[in-house]
Amino acid sequence: MSLNSLPPLREVIQTHGLAARKSLGQNFLLDLNLTGKIARQAGDLSGYDVLEIGPGPGGLTRALLAEGARKVVAIEADPRCLPALAEIGAASGGRLEVLSGDALKLDPLPHLHAPVKVVANLPYNVGTELLVRWLTPQNWPPFWDSLTLMFQREVAERIVAKPGSKAYGRLSILSQFRADPRICFELPPQAFSPPPKVTSAVVHIKALPAPRFAASQKILSEVVARAFNQRRKMLRASLKGLVPDVQTVLDSVEIDPQRRAETVSLEEFCRLSEAVRVARIQG
């Protein structure tokens, strides 16, 4: 059997008894035109291994294979989906490897060969945590060339937000420090079965070869976590305890201690993080 002659997804769901489970964030995409459109946002897949999280009944998995992925490594927590995915694997000439388990616990790297793209309609309950992990390895460039991911629209807006907007925060800084994110398109709740309560959006995040500005990723993460944890407070208060004398460090990089985190640009956060690093060394 070829990928094109696999049964429609509604039939697959019925045959394998895949009634959606809320606890696993299961909102399935059943329209193969739509899964094809998502897969194409990742660009050319031939010559790439693709990591997919949460393939479910395999709508997006089919599209990734049809778009020519060299191999798809898919991590799925729901064992009920495995027989349906095995059928896709057989129809793809063995290009699908399914890892059964929790994507937060399994390490897919031994199963992947560079270059790698990540494409997923993520379970909402683990999406942000996975994104932060993929964005914050110590070394850069990371194992992936790009991430093409479905999020709730609000999360997508946080990823691409610029200073001065309500959505601007930790996720914006982590996404823009060493990568280039853009929102591709939005999907209404009715695109999914069952429909979620919120509008979704596909985001494409391309890894940059190097960070936009010099900074330690670890210290930058710490600074923005503190700054945005108390985003209404002035920096001199929200950053208290970061170094013994926060005011002097802020003065040294010409950032007014009375400013609030949402007005501080990525470049300023990087400068501040460097000053924190130096202040800690001088201790």
Sign of CA dihedral 192, 198, 199, 204: negative
Q: Which is nearer to ligand SAM, 72 or 207 (CB)?
A: 72
Task: Please report how close the Cβ of residue 54 comes to ligand SAM at its closest, in angstroms.
Answer: 2
Q: What angle do CA 186, 79, 50 make, to 5 degrees?
A: 50
Q: Which is nearer to ligand SAM, 91 or 215 (CB)?
A: 91
* Contacts to ligand SAM by CB under 6 A: 24-29, 53-56, 59-60, 75-78, 81, 102-104, 121, 123, 126
Task: Please report how close the Cβ of residue 200 comes to ligand SAM at its closest, in angstroms.
Answer: 9
Task: Please report how close the Cβ of residue 78 comes to ligand SAM at its closest, in angstroms.
Answer: 4
Task: Please report how close the Cβ of residue 267 comes to ligand SAM at its closest, in angstroms.
Answer: 35
Distance CA 270, CA 257 (A): 16
Dump the DSSP string for 114-138: SSEEEEEE--HHHHHHHHHHHH--S
Q: Which is nearer to ligand SAM, 100 or 216 (CB)?
A: 100
Q: Which is nearer to ligand SAM, 115 or 195 (CB)?
A: 195
Task: Please report how close the Cβ of residue 139 comes to ligand SAM at its closest, in angstroms.
Answer: 25
Q: Which is nearer to ligand SAM, 203 or 266 (CB)?
A: 203
> What's the full length of the chain, in residues?
283
Distance CA 64, CA 120 (A): 10
Residue nearest to ligand SAM (CB): 54
Non-local CB neighbours of 247 within 8 Å, separated by 6+ positions? 236, 257
